[in-house]
Amino acid sequence: MTTLCIMLQHSIAQPQFSRRALRFCRQALQQGHRIECVFFYRQAVDHAAQSDDADTREVQQQWQQFARQHDVALVACHTVAERLNIGEFAEGFEDSGLTALVQAMANADRTLQF
């Protein structure tokens, strides 16, 4: 069993990257691997923003459901969130800094970026 740290860097406006990462996470768990956390960094922090856009909400809800179902932390970089003027996070997303990413990477066998 491998422990993974997943890092997303693409905006939710490019949902193909998010869906690819989510599909990978599901397959990894089915194969018996463990996910330390999913860290949303750079433009991907917008996954955590409250939104009324239907397409954005669909992708966001898929991550929220995945996190609840598999007890996986969804962590968004608070420094980037501040720069993007994201003040309030959607349910299921927590804010933290790069220290959380480094700690997750240290606890994981591998880190994968999407």
Q: Among 5, 25, 37, 77, which one carries the catalytic annotation?
A: 77
**What single DSSP character describes residue 89?**
B
59 to 45, 102, 103, 106: CA distances (angstroms): 13, 26, 26, 28
77 noted as active-site residue: yes
Residues, the chain: 114
Rounded CA separation 34/25 (Å) = 9
46 to 40, 83, 103: CA distances (angstroms): 8, 11, 22
Rounded CA separation 89/74 (Å) = 11
Cite the active site residues. 77
